[in-house]
Structure 1
Amino acid sequence: MKKNEPLVSIVMPSYNSSQTIESSIQSVIEQSYKNWELIIVDDCSSDTTWQILQAFATKYENIMCFQNEINQGAGASRNLAISKAEGRFISFLDSDDLWTEDKLSEQIDFMLTNNYGFTYTYYRRFDSNAEYGVVTAPKQTNYKKLMYSNVIGCLTAIYDTKLLGKRYMPLIRKRQDMGLWLDILKDIPKAYCLPKVLAKYRVGNGMSANKVKILSYQWQFYREVVGLSPIRSLAVFSVYAVKGYMKHSK
């Protein structure tokens, strides 16, 4: 551990993740940045996920695992992990995604050097068979721009509690991350991108079939979380849908 490395808290929700979570945890263990804590909240898995987590927590003192009494969704699980976090920086990694080994070291240095409170990076899509294209992002974004397109991949985001305090996700089943990003961007002018591929996002099998559901969740998000009027929601939603199509058709 380098001297004066701030503690980074890594938030990971899990649910029936026995096939992927070991690789996700291993990508944290292999970080070149060593001053981290990994907080995993399991959402009542019915497979062997909880047993896997207990084994890691027994072996590594900076890995902690908790389990919800009832299934509550990823947002509630992430919020419990955030409440337990002791680090200056809060970061996010899902139980089927991966980080490159220099993810934390490069991104924390980027934030400290520039005094940025909220940052994100590029990431690559992959599945069990192959790696796919890189998902890039603009150099910076703000509240208005993010409303039209969520350019911040959850697996790449880090915010600084020293500048922003602890921030929590809205208790909704989907789009919790976008809700948190918008909440942060109400209070700071911009979030900034480190233009490097520092994470890998696992593509699920049912992505195409879920597109209608995803759009439905996005409409509800604008109406119920952001509080836009029906007309304003329609205008923003239309732009979001077009941008989303362009992003995922690359």
Structure 2
Amino acid sequence: MPEVSIITPCYNSARFLPETIQSVLNQTFTDWEWLITDDCSSDNSVEIIKKINDPRVVLTIAKKNAGAGNARNLSLEKASGKYITFLDADDFWEANFLEEMVSFMKREKAELAYSNYARCDENLVPKIADFQADKEVTFKNLLKTCRLSLLSSMYDSERVGKEFFPSGSKREDHVMWLNLLQKIPVGKPLNKTMAKYRMHASSISRKKTNIMKDQYLVYKDYMHFSTLKSFYYTANWAINGFMKYSKIFN
């Protein structure tokens, strides 16, 4: 059994896959498995993945296009590692990411941890200041802003179990983290930048005004909060989201 399971959904990511693949193969920590699920790509993503000559890489091809959350779940079902971490097919890890995160998890006896990450353009050139892992994360403070990014977080599946992504939500990563943090008291910060996030101009996560309703449903439908309480946390999330990405605050 590998110590780390890396979970990656892939959909039409051929343009960025070579850099992502190389960032995993370059890891100084080598006891990992990489579970990639292709979500019915129409480009040559599958061909690129199949050319990886490494038995630690396991490719699953989804039967139908059902979104990144479902693709991650298909990989999670097969994951056997103690530590679970995520990397989208267009993002990038520095070579020491897994080594630093695993060491930190063991040293701190952490059930969940997250690190800084660089916020870059599509060419991996820094665009705004690095996102800082400078606060412990709890269920309560994660309600107001999602400080946990999939590409820079890791959790201990032996201690907390696997946490799957909900179906039907466009904010499935936030729901997943909230569900996880209802099981554990805290996620711990590692204040080192070891990952690069591509900020696409067309990214859904950047268009805050377009997903206010989806975020409201995180609280109303998935956390089962009252209407008033759901509006309160949606407003907090929107304000914090603006501050997170605005150059004024970075």
TM, length-normalised to structure 2: 0.93
| 2:41 matched residue in structure 1 | 45
Match of 1:200 among 187, 196, 201: 196
Are residues 1:221 and 2:218 paired? yes
Secondary structure of the equivalent of 1:65?
Answer: strand
Q: Distance in 2 between matches of 1:61 and 1:172?
A: 33
Measure how far apart 1:171 and its partner are: 1.4
Pair 1:131-2:126 in alignment: yes
1:98 aligns with 2:95: no
RMSD: 1.6
Q: CA deviation at 1:227?
A: 1.6
Equivalent pair of 2:134/2:190 in contact (CA under 8 Å): no
CA–CA distance in 1 between the matches of 2:171 and 2:134? Answer: 20
Greater Cα shift, 84-93 or 204-213: 204-213
Structure 2 gaps of 5+ residues are: none
Taking the aligned partners of 2:61 and 2:203, their CA distance within structure 1 comes to: 27
Cα distance between partner residues in 1 of 2:138 and 2:79: 26
Aligned match of 2:105: 111
* Residue-by-residue CA offset, 1:25-50 (whole Å, 9 max, x unaligned): 11010000010111100000011011
SS at match of 1:106: helix
Q: Quick check: 1:87 aligned with 2:81?
A: yes
Q: 2:233 aligns with which of 221, 233, 236?
A: 236
How far did 1:173 drift?
A: 4.4
Q: Do the aligned residues in 2 keep the contact of 1:138 with 1:151 (CA within 8 Å)?
A: no
State the partner residue of 2:5. Answer: 9
Report sequence identity in percent.
Answer: 34
| Contact in 2 for aligned 1:75/1:172 (Cα 8 Å) | no
CA distance in 2 between partners of 1:19 and 1:223 (Å): 37
Q: How many residues align?
A: 244
8 Å CA contact 1:92, 1:158 repeated in 2? yes
Secondary structure of the 2:163 match is coil
> TM-score by structure 1 length?
0.93
Q: Which runs of 5+ in 1 are unaligned?
A: none
Question: Is the deviation greater in 216-225 or in 78-87?
Answer: 216-225
